[in-house]
Amino acid sequence: MTPLRIELRRGPGLWTLPVLVGVGVFMSRAQLDTDTVWSYATGAVTSAPMLMAPLAVGTAAWAGGRSQRRGARHAWLLAGRNPAQAPLVEAGVLVACAGVAYALVAAVTLLPTATVATWGGPLWWWLISAGVGFAATVSVAYGVGVLLPGRFTPFIVALLTYLAATWNLGQYGTWFALFPFTIELILPFSTPHTPTMQGQLLWFTGLGLLALALVAVKVHSPARVVIPAIGASLALAASGAAIVIGENGRYVDVNRHIVWSCSGNSPQVCIHPAFATSLTPISQRAQAISQRLASTPFAISRVEQRPRGVGGQPTPGAIAYALDTPTTDHYDRASLDIAIAALGVDSCGHGPQRDRTAHAMAQILVAWAVADEKLFLPRDPGHQQAKVSFFNLPLTSQHQWLTDHADAVRTCSLTPQSFT
Amino acid sequence: MGDPIMGHGLTQQYGKRSVFRGLDVVVPAGVTVLLGPNGAGKTTLLHTIVGLKRPEAGSLHVLGRDVLRRGGLRAVAARIGFLPQVVSHYPGYTVRESVSYAAWLKGVPERDISLKVDRALRVMSLSGRAESRMGSLSGGLLRRAGVAQALVHEPDLVILDEPAAGLDPEQRIELRRVLRKVAGSATVLVSTHVVDDARHVADTIILLNEGAVVYTGTVAGLEDLAQPGVDGDSDLERGYLTALRQPVVPA
């Protein structure tokens, strides 16, 4: 208790704790657009060590080198107990403070989510593996401080940690997953691939313990203690790395157990349960679009929220929209998704069929469908004339026009003359 | 059971520079003062005895254990108190915390630490500065705190490297009193290059010069070596200088 009490009072662990928490909360909040989705909130927490780590490892490396700089290593070597106990107390306090800081960041970040989320819960394996990775890095940094107690070691360790974390952002796969600091977004449509995270847990734990075991070697701890410690930590690290490598660092699986929240019949609007609070505003927008497209070949029967990009295909007969955040501007974007998908003009904006004029003409229809003519910005007077002509038609004439030009709409072959 | 410290044929070198070669040294019970000029090898010898620097050759028994064998030093470490030449300390610790930490390191049971720390602080007249930060202490106070760290666990062997450095005359007198008191229950080995310190406390003097022991004996014996014409303010100083001028015979 004596060294623990002294280290808590005088060591750098507790002093850096508020700073770590402040930096971590800043980082996690900066990563978070909405509190409503557990996977987003969890991802924000796991990204916090990106910014916390340089400070934490610099402090740990400083504390590790302190004994050598202050001559206390003599006292450790002449200890009447296992000489590793002294540095282990120091490292333990630092690791514990880092862990507490991470836990506080998690609590501050996840608490609002707990009050507003409508589906799911924290992704515990992800939270724990990232937290253990952070703590293990502190342990490794302390070990570096003990083994290489230079004046500039803390700065170098902090800088290298930051650079490595930044570099790792551009990586993916196995090596990405073996590094403790990441910024990763797991959509609510996916579920974490827990074997990778369990492997990370073992790998990080092994690395952290190995660093402490090497510290024990450095201070001449008895071989009967050191050898089993090194063996156990190597076994943990190797088995964890093997699992992560075996899983190719895969982070997510498709979540096949989602029960969609739906409302209405014409069209039926379905949304991921994590966004259940957004069902009403999305339904209102979908209804408005549906009413405009009713009695045309573009009538909508069902819309579904889907993730952007890969995996975004809706069920047959339905159209997809994406929603990242339950805010008004994202609802408006979702409206555009619905209108574009309903009209089938998605390919007009890109791909081999891209034609600026055809794209502009498609935009006229999308702007009309979402009832926001400001969305269309005419490039020339012909485009403007086309828009005015179409917008000024009575609704029944607009429906008729859409029926007559359905093929041209779908094949992106509209021209300004199509509207006159 | 032999003498508390028995070294034979000790060889120590830094790189290619030999500090001592084939040194025989025996420290008996009581207070032994290790004298010698700067660079004589005093600190290296003390570091060798406490295990901070393993000798290249020779044998070394401390408190009856062969400390060069695996686990030998570990077996007696708790019974040794050591004050290095530069007092190791964390500036942010208070004096009480520093001494408490030293006591814990030496394996003093938790329940006894407070009592022993109070006693060590009292012995070193540091009770009034117990809550001062180590970083705020003067050189002399820091030295006294270092001695308190070395004594707190009531060791059987106390090894102090230049404990009087930086102390004012009053503090030196106090330190001698402490050493004599400690010697009642422990063997004390003190290094110094201040000859006069030895007169008042030493039961035995070991004089080291150029890595060789040039005198082992009592204060009176060293005084007897004094030759006329040798500089010095006392017989002890003259005896000291006379001994230093003897040719050093390599072992």
Binning pLDDT at 50, 70 and 90, where does residue B251 land? very low
Residue A336, CA atoms < 13 Å, CB-side half-sphere: 16
CB contact under 8 A, A2 and B100: yes
Do the Cβ atoms of A271 and A334 come closer than 8 Å? no
Give the model's pLDDT for residue A309: 65
| Four-CA torsion A97, A103, A108, A112, nearest 10 degrees | 180
Nearest beta carbon to residue A81 from set B82, B107, B149:
B107
Strand partners, B18: B13
Q: Which residues of B lie closer than 8 Å to A, measured between beta carbons? A: 50-52, 71, 73-74, 77-80, 82, 84, 86-93, 97, 100-108, 110, 113, 149, 153
Q: If you average pLDDT over residues B173-178, what whole number do you get?
A: 86
* ipTM higher than threshold 0.85: no
Q: If you average pLDDT over residues B172-201, what whole number do you get?
A: 87
CA-based radius of gyration for chain A: 29
- In the block, which residue shows the tokens 């190995």? A210
Encode chain A (420 residues) as per-residue pLDDT tens digits.
888 999 899 889 899 999 999 999 999 999 998 898 999 999 999 999 999 999 999 999 999 998 888 877 778 888 888 889 999 999 999 999 999 999 999 999 999 999 999 898 999 999 999 999 999 999 999 999 999 998 999 999 999 999 999 988 887 788 888 998 888 888 888 888 999 999 999 999 999 999 999 999 998 888 889 999 999 999 999 999 999 999 998 888 888 778 889 998 889 999 999 999 999 999 999 999 999 999 899 999 999 998 876 566 777 888 889 898 888 999 999 999 999 999 988 877 776 556 778 888 889 999 999 998 888 888 888 888 999 999 999 999 999 999 999 999 988 888 888 887
**B144 to chain A nearest CA, in Å?**
16
Give the model's pLDDT for residue A353: 52
Do the Cβ atoms of B144 and B165 come closer than 8 Å? no
**B78 to chain A nearest CA, in Å?**
4
A72 close to B (CB below 8 A) = yes
- Of A269, A246, A356, residue with least CA distance to A318: A269
pTM of this structure: 0.86
**B116 to chain A nearest CA, in Å?**
13
CB contact under 8 A, A6 and B101: yes
- Of B39, B119, B115, B53, residue with least CA distance to B82: B53
Residue A210 vs residue B192, higher pLDDT: A210
Give the model's pLDDT for residue B34: 94
Give the model's pLDDT for residue B233: 81
A414 close to B (CB below 8 A) = no
Which of B74, B87, B153 should one mutate to test binding to chain A, selecting the residue with the greatest count of A CBs within 10 A? B74
Express each pLDDT in A195-252 by its tens digit.
Answer: 999 999 999 999 999 999 999 999 888 888 999 999 999 999 999 999 999 999 888 8
Express each pLDDT in B134-170 by its tens digit.
Answer: 999 988 889 899 999 999 999 999 999 988 887 888 8
Give the model's pLDDT for residue A157: 96
Q: Which residues of B touch A79 (CB under 8 A)?
A: 77-78, 105-107
How far apart CA B82 and CA A253 sit, in angstroms, is 61
Express each pLDDT in A88-109 by its tens digit.
Answer: 999 999 999 999 999 999 999 9
Tokens of residue A65, six digits: 């080198």
Q: Which residues of B touch A222 (CB under 8 A)?
A: 71, 74
CB contact under 8 A, A71 and B84: yes
Do the Cβ atoms of A290 and A267 come closer than 8 Å? yes
The 10 Å Cβ neighbour count of residue A159 is 14
Q: Determine phi and psi for B133, rounding to 5 degrees.
A: -75, 140
Helices (H) and strands (E) in chain B, counts: 9, 10
Give the model's pLDDT for residue A33: 86
**B107 to chain A nearest CA, in Å?**
5
Nearest beta carbon to residue B100 from set A6, A71, A73:
A6
Give the model's pLDDT for residue B38: 86
CB contact under 8 A, B92 and A10: yes
Q: Would you give the DSSP letter of residue A121?
A: -
**A322 to chain B nearest CA, in Å?**
57
A356 close to B (CB below 8 A) = no
